[in-house]
Structure 1
């Protein structure tokens, strides 16, 4: 029998060799955490679970501290005691290496055999006897790890059932929390597969190999070591959340220069518009907003175009904004592909890659992760793995590993009514303990299936940890939402984390802090009063900003007050609600960063409460204190400008359903179909290009039809917008086939591709330069297109499916933007595809890029 104690002596691991093999058990503070469980591994060199001859033992101490550019704390402490038990069998050396930490334990298997280069691992005998009387939070295994962590008790139906890791267990009597997971897997060049837990009828958990291995043995090089199998054994949820056992079990990085690695908060258009990344000019607008509001990045999801990403990176970097781009892993799944594209994207100035659709736990896929990560380190690109395996501490080896999916996040609202508040209150204590998660918080535009409040969504970026937080918050919501101020108060990286209160599935109150600022995110599932002592503060008074739900949970109210360390904050939370709290010694007003372009500082604001109300429109005050009017009929705003030119009018409104707006200003009049805003209490913006003549003006808004909107205010922005040159398709544009048909009342060119193509002659522009060519199209699937300008330059790209996740439709209109060079005067633009059918084209628009 061998006993290994943690540095503080409170956690012990006992290993015993019996006639039928090796067993271990774990105690914390004298309380049983893992009862007697089997150790061993079966290979083609022998079954190393029994018949072992003991040779020697070695004991070592691990004492180190390290920091990472991203992560849940500033300093990682790796203090452990290590025991290596050496056995022999069949001319092979077998080692069980164990480590005991103050908050957990780990072990792995090692095999040495001379004269062989590799071995075949048939199965593990590894067991965890957690017991049948503990509460459990288990995820039914799915290859994406995007499932709920279901609260349950032991029952016989768990026998043979696979469960994803991490898995959480709790004994309410002894207070111990146990988390099971693995470490050092995807950074070993594919030496093993990712594993999961399998229930056993005796109340045990066993290690199961990836289903993709199809029962075949795993081929691994010699000398061999398995992944670490570890258990966090914590006495509180705060200790559990602060655990870094899995990071400590991974090898340190060889990177000496990490100055290019920056955690961030990124704006992300996909949530609101799945094809939003096809639009260069809107992507620039996102950059403008990130720069103005102090966010670090913009993430381009599927659809970005190679013609303009380099240009966008230049534009963003001048404003100190990162650019991340999305790609399916299938574009990088071989060394040849990865060594071609990763350096190319890095040469454009891209800062990070969001690599999607792994959805596979096989040994081969683990090798692909390793290949991509190593190349991204070499070319100084940050990492976000999507459709991915759970984190296993690899962020220590790859400090550019910012985040990963492996979580049922906000995107699931696109096709289901999950995630819900129970899930959100569970994952801080399960999945997020293992590593950063790209949950994409702050989604509230899904009016039909939204199941949490504004306050709940606002709190999530603090409750959850991610080295890259992608906000599921579209451009048009950012300026009009009071919660945006709280998001601007948050940080890309914190010095530490503390659980102030919580229980899986019920509620979570998480504190994250720097030297002088404290952020608290609070979420709940049931209606609840949460009391938060502020004893973590120092002496004296502090300023607190409290962002809470209004009565219906559809707006956020902000309260400012003085607090001290002796105070407690009492929050009355709605069901599925939440709150965000910002505390600092002296709260400074939020300051805008770089303001230009979409966020130009050259504007005049016209409050709705000052408008002249006409034809039944009437003033209103919303429950958060916002004042404006409801546009039952019409309203007029009066002002003056110093120059005759084009301006941008930005209207702030709220509407339950779509409506139609007519706007009249002098001799100009126009009508626009206005989207809903996801509720009468949710404000969005809409930009309208407006020509105004020098001197006094009157802008009259008229509701023509549809939902009665609430109008908060409008801005008149002097950012010199360029009037697009628009050309609809007609018979004259067709060459060698195709036809013009009416789709939803709009002329549309169909039957294109092969020989049939479109040619737009005499596209006249005022000056030579860079222009955006915007293709207006419909598509039920992704289809390629080639663009030739003036019979010289050719660009090959594709038009993304315009149906989203819905059933494929050829009636939904979308747009794709390509950067081209046009000459002053007339230009010729040709759209074709020699090798197959094209999307249906409705026309093109041309916009000068300044």
Structure 2
């Protein structure tokens, strides 16, 4: 079958409407021939295997789905349909690129009992999902999913904070052999697998709608077992934020008989750089369900919570009051930031308190003042409080004229909570509100389906420095290759007080970062989030004027990305373009490094490059940042030394 040429904006698919009888095994091969997903039912069970560039990564492994207590499918495939797609995707809200290919080969394997398996192979990975077409009004579902690796590969096994499935999923990524995961706490995804010779695989799930998120459990072999939060039958409120499961079912989902299930996705790259530009997880996500998206506006956000409203040098008492937030609005306006966040404290806590604004704040007047400065307001809330007043809250938000909501403390990704995420994104879209999800599940494609859901936390971010030491430069250089691959990441960078390893101490009300100032600036380029926080106090930004030109100029979405350096866990550097301007960001771990970065992505002519780099004493004092401007051309290189925990940020203009 001839494969059509890729043409922008054109869907080129072919469906063989006459199903052919199967000949096991069924192979699904990527358009470039690199990746192969094999499905074999010859021995009475359904097994999948994955091969990439001739290397078998996943050995034949049984899979299955249980519906109302019956394990299916229990027959051999009766038909296979084929499909090819070659198109170009233009995201409503871009992250690393304004457009990219969506090209795959697909086979849809049909079994008896109304069960089928849809399989896809892309140039950057493979995926499969179950589909059902049954008359059941309601099904109780369980799923058997394992990953049997062909070798005892090193993996970065995500260790979430929390108790069991109750977690913010702000994961650490300890490196260990697959066999060493036995006995460890269950891990959420994504799972990064080191295949050798700088080849990688990243495992996650996509389109988790009406279903729980996927977790992983180690065994005493080279097989990892997928496990899922069971369906919650009863919940109990612990405090005013934590809604915990008190009683769970013996199944993981309760759903209708005809539906599609989440994708089981395996990104495959020949080098670490490929992880930074993989589009597998976005392409697998359901397309946007919004017709009008012009109102969705990414941008910088002045944020109050990380810096504990610690403004000084002002003639008013800083805190949860009108003067403080008008000050944030003024600062956001000066910075060209489109938003401020009112985080926890603007309303009474707990269920029933969400719409009771504290008397020190006049919300309509504050919104009006913000609009006069071209700054909109985003409101923080706990998920329990939002659920308690769901419909009334959204009506009130619209009446106030706020622009978005930041919903926190989900801490679960069972089916009920995942349904909450979809309902919230949909209802917010009806009211033209942006959504930022904190304290819950990692991205699973929701930001494509409901593009007003612009960013998600689920990351060991800057906030950890208020009480611990996990958000350090060693973590900083892991995140682009792990958590960030599956979707936008609200790390909340921007600390203006920066410490080296030997001087750092956690401080809740006067927090600092680990690593250098230049590393904090570089995060705005390296880390992808259409809403990007200015986490520190307006006072600290104004007292560090050398950093402000970069922060005022740096975009939050990008037209093009070039990977300049990709060394997992050690160093990363990217160049990203917005319009006619290029920005460079580079990070290193606690180990210093020297970078020599090509500028061959520049067009013809001469350009002005301004560089923010570690100062000569940054290895002793993380605040030391040096700024220089010079003329460059495409033939030149940016040569720079990164101090321990260091970074480099650059802005290049014609």
The TM-score, its normalising length taken from structure 1, stands at 0.65
Following TM superposition, by how much is the alpha carbon of 1:205 offset from its aligned partner in structure 2, in angstroms? 2.0
Following TM superposition, by how much is the alpha carbon of 1:157 offset from its aligned partner in structure 2, in angstroms? 4.7
Instruction: Name 2:606's counterpart in structure 1.
Output: 541
Question: Does structure 2 retain, via aligned residues, the 8 Å contact 1:16–1:22?
Answer: yes
Instruction: Name 1:296's counterpart in structure 2.
Output: 338
1:526-573 Cα offsets, whole Å, 9 max, x none, are 111111011111112111111012123222110111111111111111
1:330 aligns with 2:354: no
- When the two chains are superposed, the root-mean-square deviation of aligned CA atoms in Å is 1.9
Q: Hey, what's the Cα distance between the residues in 2 that align with 1:432 and 1:34? A: 23
Following TM superposition, by how much is the alpha carbon of 1:160 offset from its aligned partner in structure 2, in angstroms? 6.8
Among 37, 54, 61, the alignment partner of 1:37 is: 61
> What secondary structure, in the 3-state scheme, does the structure 2 residue paired with 1:396 have?
helix
Among 454, 461, 471, the alignment partner of 1:419 is: 471
Question: Does structure 1 retain, via aligned residues, the 8 Å contact 2:422–2:446?
Answer: no
Q: Hey, what's the Cα distance between the residues in 2 that align with 1:478 and 1:444? A: 7
Q: How does 1:592-607 map to 2 (within 5 A)?
A: none
Q: Which has the higher contact order (CA 8 A, sep 6+)?
A: 2
Instruction: Name 2:7's counterpart in structure 1.
Output: none
Question: Does structure 2 retain, via aligned residues, the 8 Å contact 1:11–1:28?
Answer: yes
Q: Which runs of 5+ in 2 are unaligned?
A: 1-24, 162-166, 233-247, 311-317, 348-356, 506-512
Q: Hey, what's the Cα distance between the residues in 1 that align with 2:319 and 2:277? A: 36
Following TM superposition, by how much is the alpha carbon of 1:215 offset from its aligned partner in structure 2, in angstroms? 5.9
Instruction: Name 2:587's counterpart in structure 1.
Output: 523
Among 320, 323, 326, the alignment partner of 1:281 is: 323
Following TM superposition, by how much is the alpha carbon of 1:446 offset from its aligned partner in structure 2, in angstroms? 7.0
Question: Does structure 2 retain, via aligned residues, the 8 Å contact 1:72–1:494?
Answer: yes
Following TM superposition, by how much is the alpha carbon of 1:281 offset from its aligned partner in structure 2, in angstroms? 1.3
> What secondary structure, in the 3-state scheme, does the structure 2 residue paired with 1:437 have?
coil
> What secondary structure, in the 3-state scheme, does the structure 1 residue paired with 2:469 have?
coil
1:93 aligns with 2:125: no
1:397-421 Cα offsets, whole Å, 9 max, x none, are 1111111110011111111122111
Instruction: Name 2:578's counterpart in structure 1.
Output: 514
Among 502, 506, 513, the alignment partner of 2:566 is: 502
> What secondary structure, in the 3-state scheme, does the structure 1 residue paired with 2:273 have?
helix
Q: How many residues align?
A: 572
Q: Hey, what's the Cα distance between the residues in 1 that align with 2:527 and 2:26? A: 40
Question: Does structure 2 retain, via aligned residues, the 8 Å contact 1:332–1:372?
Answer: no
Among 572, 577, 585, the alignment partner of 2:641 is: 572
Among 133, 140, 161, the alignment partner of 1:112 is: 133
Q: Hey, what's the Cα distance between the residues in 2 that align with 1:465 and 1:113? A: 41
1:227-264 Cα offsets, whole Å, 9 max, x none, are 11100111122222112222222221232211110011
1:71 aligns with 2:123: no
> What secondary structure, in the 3-state scheme, does the structure 1 residue paired with 2:586 have?
strand
1:313 aligns with 2:395: no
Following TM superposition, by how much is the alpha carbon of 1:212 offset from its aligned partner in structure 2, in angstroms? 7.0
Instruction: Name 2:457's counterpart in structure 1.
Output: 405
1:476-532 Cα offsets, whole Å, 9 max, x none, are 011221222211120122112222102222111122112311111111111111110
Instruction: Name 2:236's counterpart in structure 1.
Output: none
Q: Hey, what's the Cα distance between the residues in 1 that align with 2:179 and 2:289? A: 46
Q: Which runs of 5+ in 1 are unaligned?
A: 586-850
Question: Does structure 2 retain, via aligned residues, the 8 Å contact 1:549–1:574?
Answer: yes
Q: Hey, what's the Cα distance between the residues in 2 that align with 1:421 and 1:20? A: 50
> What secondary structure, in the 3-state scheme, does the structure 2 residue paired with 1:411 have?
helix
Q: Hey, what's the Cα distance between the residues in 2 that align with 1:387 and 1:131? A: 35
Instruction: Name 2:239's counterpart in structure 1.
Output: none
Following TM superposition, by how much is the alpha carbon of 1:45 offset from its aligned partner in structure 2, in angstroms? 5.3
Instruction: Name 1:231's counterpart in structure 2.
Output: 266
Q: Hey, what's the Cα distance between the residues in 1 that align with 2:567 and 2:319? A: 38
Among 201, 212, 218, the alignment partner of 1:199 is: 218
1:438-479 Cα offsets, whole Å, 9 max, x none, are 111022447642431111112111110001011211110112
1:100-135 Cα offsets, whole Å, 9 max, x none, are 111111111122223x2111113x222222344322
Question: Does structure 2 retain, via aligned residues, the 8 Å contact 1:70–1:263?
Answer: no
User: Compared with structure 1, are the counterparts of its residues 265 and 196 closer, same or farther at alpha carbon in structure 2 (3 Å cutoff)?
Assistant: same
Question: Does structure 2 retain, via aligned residues, the 8 Å contact 1:277–1:301?
Answer: no
Among 188, 207, 217, the alignment partner of 1:184 is: 207
1:265 aligns with 2:330: no
Instruction: Name 1:699's counterpart in structure 2.
Output: none
Following TM superposition, by how much is the alpha carbon of 1:394 offset from its aligned partner in structure 2, in angstroms? 1.1
Question: Does structure 1 retain, via aligned residues, the 8 Å contact 2:152–2:179?
Answer: no
1:412-442 Cα offsets, whole Å, 9 max, x none, are 1111122111100000111011111111102
Instruction: Name 2:280's counterpart in structure 1.
Output: 245
> What secondary structure, in the 3-state scheme, does the structure 1 residue paired with 2:366 have?
helix
Q: Hey, what's the Cα distance between the residues in 2 that align with 1:535 and 1:177? A: 26
1:554-602 Cα offsets, whole Å, 9 max, x none, are 22110111111111111111111111111111xxxxxxxxxxxxxxxxx
User: Compared with structure 1, are the counterparts of its residues 529 and 497 closer, same or farther at alpha carbon in structure 2 (3 Å cutoff)?
Assistant: same
Instruction: Name 2:22's counterpart in structure 1.
Output: none
Instruction: Name 2:631's counterpart in structure 1.
Output: 562
Instruction: Name 2:520's counterpart in structure 1.
Output: 457
Following TM superposition, by how much is the alpha carbon of 1:6 offset from its aligned partner in structure 2, in angstroms? 1.4
Choose 1 or 2 for highest CA Rg.
Answer: 1
The TM-score, its normalising length taken from structure 2, stands at 0.84
Q: Hey, what's the Cα distance between the residues in 1 that align with 2:55 and 2:484? A: 26
1:626-665 Cα offsets, whole Å, 9 max, x none, are xxxxxxxxxxxxxxxxxxxxxxxxxxxxxxxxxxxxxxxx
Question: Does structure 2 retain, via aligned residues, the 8 Å contact 1:407–1:431?
Answer: yes
